[in-house]
Amino acid sequence: MPSDTTPEAYRAQIEAYRRMGGKGRSEVAFRLSDLVRRTAMAGIRERHPEYGEQEVQRAFVHLLLGAELVKRIWPRRRLVAP
């Protein structure tokens, strides 16, 4: 049970998800995932206006995977801060 949600609201949300079925829940999950990705990348752009699009993408991967793995993926590229 989420600490910031009333029991009635939580039950209503669960019931809405049940009515959606698997396909509907998957669509919601994909939309939420896309929203989180776009929000994170917007934050990177806000913090680092000097970054080009490739640097924003690398900074996002850095945010997701951590510096050590990013260095292994792109060993010859400069590590960019998220």
* Domain range summary for the chain, segments of one domain joined by +: 7-73
Q: Assess whether pLDDT exceeds 90 at residue 18.
A: yes
Q: Assess whether pLDDT exceeds 90 at residue 82.
A: yes
Q: Assess whether pLDDT exceeds 90 at residue 2.
A: no
Over residues 64-75, mean pLDDT: 95
Q: Assess whether pLDDT exceeds 90 at residue 1.
A: no
Over residues 45-50, mean pLDDT: 98
**What is the structure's pLDDT at 67?**
96
Q: What CA–CA distances, in Å, run from 43 to 26, 51, 68, 71, 77?
A: 26, 12, 22, 22, 22
Q: Assess whether pLDDT exceeds 90 at residue 8.
A: yes
Terminal-to-terminal C-alpha distance of the chain: 32
